Amino acid sequence: MVGKPNRLMLEMAADEMGVSPSDVVMVGDRLSTDIRMGADAGTRTVLVLSGETDADMMARSPVKPTFAVGSVADIASELLDTGRLRRSP
């Protein structure tokens, strides 16, 4: 059984789609599983702060996302408004 945060799961999904993990963006609300898996697999990561993890937890964690947003809707909104996401601090 393979599950998060084992990067094999993400690598297999990327392989199935015919893309490199570096072309994938992992979106999730848990630093210890979602974001860690993406980071371990070499993807960019988006932490959604409306779920399990809040900004204080993110600041204290050794696992850092590439980007952080308030909600999943913010991803589309920011991409439509600016064409890119702002990197997390």
3-37 b/e (C-beta count within 10 Å ≥ 16 → b):
ebbbbeebbeebeeeeeebeebebbbbbbebbbbb
Give the domains, in start order, of the chain with CATH numbers.
Answer: 7-82 (3.40.50.1000)
pTM of the model: 0.85
Distances in Å between the Cα of 79 and the Cα atoms of 29, 39, 66, 74 are 19, 21, 15, 8
pLDDT surpassing 90 at residue 3:
no
Summarize pLDDT for 10-25 with one digit per residue, the tens. Answer: 999 999 999 999 999 9
pLDDT in the model for residue 34: 96
- Whether the per-residue pLDDT at 29 is higher than 90: the answer is yes
For 62-79, write each residue's pLDDT tens digit: 999 999 999 998 888 877
pLDDT of residue 89: 62
pLDDT at 1 over 70: no
